Structure 1
């Protein structure tokens, strides 16, 4: 989705940036993990196919993807984006007849970043983006039944169980975006700053080179 190709969002712990070609090698290494393949219901791809996938995620109108960066590493240490990558977050428009319905998917790929509240912050940031920029009115999250950590996180964000598929061993959680949900997101995420991605990167490079 092209709408976010120049969008950067800065939270307390993370920075969300568009999924670019420079991120592909590390993403490709992540997806060799059997654990991540199981959690994301994905099959391993060749590096060439991973680059093709990155292009489709940038171009397709039914996918919106951000790469999650460690804010401290990126802003304070001045590290390259690939070195700061933590995971990714996606919105998928799964129903062509209802563009207000979105499936939300969050992957914290680096194990030592789990359990620190990053998943919750990223999820809320992406929900706010989906509501404000994409007009999303209902979110879904499809999670493996054995992934109790993610199920618990979404339930704490007021998602409700909609269905359980025993064949695929997953639960679908849903949240309708009414005025109370919108207000809560705006209040909870008031600290999030949205910036021009290319301009921010250019300025950052200037500071690092000085």
Structure 2
């Protein structure tokens, strides 16, 4: 999705930047991990295929992706991104019957960055961005049975289980964006600042 290609979202723990070509080699390295392949239900790609995937995501108007940076690392590295990359957060519009429903997912790929609040802040920031900038009215998340940390995080954010698939070994969770949820998201992300990406990164 091109709508976020010039958007940088800065929080207290993380910085979200659009997924660009210079991020691909490190992202590709992450996805060679058998653990991450299992957690994200992904198949390993060649580096060339990964570049093609990045380009297709950028052009796909139904998919929005941000790379998650560790803010402290990003600031100490003079805003050079590669060494600060810790994961990604995505949303997809896939329901033709409900075009404002989006599937959302979060991956904190760097083990040392897990369970420190980075995933929560990145996820809530993306949720609010989706509601405010993309018109999302309800979220769906599909999470593997074994991904206990993600299941716990989404439940804590108010998502409720609607179905299970033993075939795909995943739970489907749902969160409609009520007025209360919209207000809560605004409060939770009141510290998030939005910048023009080119001015704040390289």
TM-score band (shorter)?
Answer: over 0.9
How far 1:188 moved relative to its partner? 1.1
Alignment-derived partner of residue 131 in structure 2:
131
Q: Please, what is the CA RMSD of the aligned residues? A: 1.0
Q: Deviations over 1:106-158 (max 9, x none)?
A: 00000010011111111100000000011001101100111111111101001
Matches within 5 A, 1:157-176: 157-176=157-176
Q: Does 1:31 align with 2:23?
A: no
Alignment-derived partner of residue 45 in structure 2:
45
Q: Deviations over 1:75-124 (max 9, x none)?
A: 23315211110000000111133221000010000001001111111110
Q: Deviations over 1:22-74 (max 9, x none)?
A: 00000000000000001111100010000000001111011000000011111
Alignment-derived partner of residue 4 in structure 1:
4
Matches within 5 A, 1:97-136: 97-136=97-136
Query: 3-state DSSP class of the match of 1:146?
Result: coil
Q: Does 1:81 align with 2:81?
A: yes
TM-score, normalised on structure 2? 0.97
Alignment-derived partner of residue 92 in structure 2:
92
User: Which of these two proteins has the greater Rg computed from alpha carbons?
Assistant: 1
TM-score, normalised on structure 1? 0.94
How far 1:178 moved relative to its partner? 0.5
Matches within 5 A, 1:152-191: 152-191=152-191
1: CA distance, partners of 2:198 / 2:79 = 16
Alignment-derived partner of residue 142 in structure 1:
142
Unaligned runs of 5+ in 2: none
Alignment: residue pair count: 202
2: CA distance, partners of 1:63 / 1:167 = 25
